[in-house]
Amino acid sequence: METPYNQSDLLKEFSPHLERTSVLQMIWIVFLLGVIGLGGFALYTQISKGHIVTGMRDNVVWGIYIVNFIFFMGVSYAGALISGSLHLFRAEWRKPIIRIAEFITIIALLIGPCYILLCIGRLDRLPYLVLFGRIQSPITWDVIAISTDIFGCIIFLYLALLRDIAQIRDFKEISLPKWKKKMYSFLALGYTGTPEQQKRLQNATDIMAAMVISIAIIVYSVLAWIFSVTLQPGWHSTIFGPYFVIAAVFSGCGIMIITMWLFRKIYHLEHYITRRHFVNVGVLMLVLAALFGYFTFSDYLTKWYGSEKNDELLIQLLFKKYYWLFIISNYVGVLLPMIVVGIPKFRTINNITFSAIVVVLALWINRYLIVVPTLESPYLPIQDSRPEWLFYNATWVEWSLTAAGVAVFALLMTLASKFIPVVNVSEMGDKPVPEEEIL
């Protein structure tokens, strides 16, 4: 991108998306609301009848709610990594995709913690987490870390939006309802682009980019420690902190590619988001696939080789009952992106997107295989005559709420793209930073 784009041309191109919503998009939104409604009904059922309507029982006390929690928190890494680190390194190619990454981060970050709430037996006592919080508990660490992360990411995203909001406010050719105009001028905080303002904004964004990256690493490590501080054979592992961080960035890359593909098609961004972006993010995904595969391998290798009694039981469960899931998540999910991105002639946009879909699914299954089989193989053997007490099977309530989470994600992504251009208009208009100024 040698020559910067003209900002008002760009705005003119994107303004139709902000001005009106097509019929197809309306149908899409109604469909998503329907799925969310089903989730709402499932939630009502769970609250009125108790957690007995879920598949969770005394042995497997955490089911797919926790899996979804880890999953969405992982997805939120897209922004921290792509947006934060590429911003710091001033990678020029990031500009058209940086906004998408920030959207994913903030939206996933708002959905993720909701799943922890679904797991809690007494929602009415939620304030106790603050009122009677104990700093010794990893859950308190998590509460602190996640709320800091959400605040940090909101500030970072807002700083990144500020210039575009000011642009829309000042753009005369766009026809918007009065309340929207007022909203933009309020949100622009009086930014007019004076050199002083530019400098401050640049500094603030740099600081927040660095903060967001480090907070994200802390959040995901704390999340991993919730599992690894316990004595459960499958969880009590020193590798879990970095392993979870890598898995999170990996899934963030996957979601990033899928969203890029969708927005590219829907908003006709072929001109801005090119094969180059898919290959670049794809290469990141390849590196992360290798790291993830390495962590997975060393975790299970040590368990299998030492074959302590309870580790052995877990490995047996994984290789018998969960055989195919294990193969998909830890073999296919690792090897496919390496082959597709690693061999140049396979590197098409569609191939990379397909492998990203597989990666995202594989990582969801990977978390399932971390949470559920461990709880199914405790130190004392489960001796029960009730099948639902022996093995975990998620019920319609849990699946509906999972679908609702995905629908909320899609809905908020859609709505966000209706308020703010999906491509960062101001940054696209900036001159490229000369090499020697980096950092």
Partner 1 sequence: MKKKSENKSTSSRRQFLKKSLMTGASMLATGGLIEAYLDTSAAESGEKVKVLTTDGTIMEVDQAHLLLPRVSRAESKKGLPGKKFVMVIDLSRCKNARACVEACQKGHNLPKSMEFMKVYLLQDGEKEAAYWFPKPCFHCDNPLCVSVCPVGATYKRSDGIVLIDNERCIGCKFCITGCPYSTRVFAWKHYPEFDIDKQPYSPEASSPGVEGTVSKCDFCPDLVRVGKLPYCAQACPMGVIFFGDMDEDVVTNGAETFQLSQLLRDRAGYRYLETLGTRPSVYYLPPVDRQFPVDRGFGDLDESVKDRYKETPYVKKNKP
Rounded Cα gap, residues 214 and 131, in angstroms: 27
Tokens describing residue 333: 């999910």
Tokens describing residue 408: 């909320």
Based on the shown chain and the rule CB under 8 A, indicate whether residue 384 belongs to the binding site for partner 1. yes
Cβ within 8 Å of residue 385, ≥6 positions away: none
**Nearest residue (CB) to partner 1, 350 versus 385:** 385
Judged by CB under 8 A, which of 51, 181, 347, 418 binds partner 1? 51
CA distances from 169 to 144, 164, 183, 189, 368 (A): 36, 9, 9, 11, 46
Q: Which stretch binds partner 1 (CB under 8 A): 91-99, 125-133, 238-246, 312-320?
A: 125-133
Q: Which residue has the tokens 């980019």?
A: 209
Rounded Cα gap, residues 98 and 239, in angstroms: 31
Based on the shown chain and the rule CB under 8 A, indicate whether residue 113 belongs to the binding site for partner 1. no
Rounded Cα gap, residues 367 and 72, in angstroms: 11
Number of residues that bind partner 1 (CB under 8 A): 46
Based on the shown chain and the rule CB under 8 A, indicate whether residue 232 belongs to the binding site for partner 1. yes
Based on the shown chain and the rule CB under 8 A, indicate whether residue 393 belongs to the binding site for partner 1. no
Judged by CB under 8 A, which of 176, 187, 229, 361 binds partner 1? 229
CA distances from 330 to 8, 227, 364, 369, 383 (A): 47, 19, 11, 10, 30
Tokens describing residue 219: 């959040």
**Nearest residue (CB) to partner 1, 51 versus 418:** 51
Based on the shown chain and the rule CB under 8 A, indicate whether residue 189 belongs to the binding site for partner 1. no
Contact map string, positions 191 to 220, toward partner 1, x by CB under 8 A = ------------------------------
H or E element at residue 100:
helix 98-119
Give residues 306-345 in contact with partner 1 (rule: CB under 8 A): none
Judged by CB under 8 A, which of 110, 114, 143, 325 binds partner 1? 143
* Residue 96 CA neighbour count, 13 Å, CB half: 26
Tokens describing residue 64: 């797919």
Q: What is the DSSP letter of 280?
A: H
Q: Which stretch binds partner 1 (CB under 8 A): 10-18, 127-135, 349-357, 408-416?
A: 127-135
Least CB distance from residue 395 to partner 1, whole Å? 12
Judged by CB under 8 A, which of 140, 148, 185, 414 binds partner 1? 140
Q: Which stretch binds partner 1 (CB under 8 A): 97-105, 203-211, 222-230, 298-306?
A: 222-230
Contact 73, 223 (CB under 8 A): yes
Contact 338, 354 (CB under 8 A): no
Judged by CB under 8 A, which of 381, 434, 436, 439 binds partner 1? 381
**Nearest residue (CB) to partner 1, 24 versus 131:** 131
Based on the shown chain and the rule CB under 8 A, indicate whether residue 179 belongs to the binding site for partner 1. no
Q: Which stretch binds partner 1 (CB under 8 A): 44-52, 198-206, 289-297, 352-360?
A: 44-52
Based on the shown chain and the rule CB under 8 A, indicate whether residue 386 belongs to the binding site for partner 1. yes
Least CB distance from residue 77 to partner 1, whole Å? 24
Least CB distance from residue 383 to partner 1, whole Å? 5
Based on the shown chain and the rule CB under 8 A, indicate whether residue 134 belongs to the binding site for partner 1. yes
* φ/ψ bin of 307: left (φ > 0), alpha (ψ from -120 to 50), beta (otherwise): left
Could you give the dihedral angle defined by the CA atoms of residues 295, 138, 62 and 326, in that order, rounded to the nearest 10 degrees? 0
Least CB distance from residue 128 to partner 1, whole Å? 5
Judged by CB under 8 A, which of 17, 39, 57, 408 binds partner 1? 57
Least CB distance from residue 121 to partner 1, whole Å? 2
Q: Beta-carbon neighbour count of residue 173 at 10 Å?
A: 8
**Nearest residue (CB) to partner 1, 219 versus 359:** 219
Contact 218, 245 (CB under 8 A): no
Cβ within 8 Å of residue 228, ≥6 positions away: 235, 236, 237, 238, 240, 241
Which spans of this chain sit near partner 1 (rule: CB under 8 A)? 49-52, 56-59, 61-62, 116, 119-122, 125-126, 128-129, 131-134, 136-140, 143, 226-227, 229-232, 235, 375, 378-386
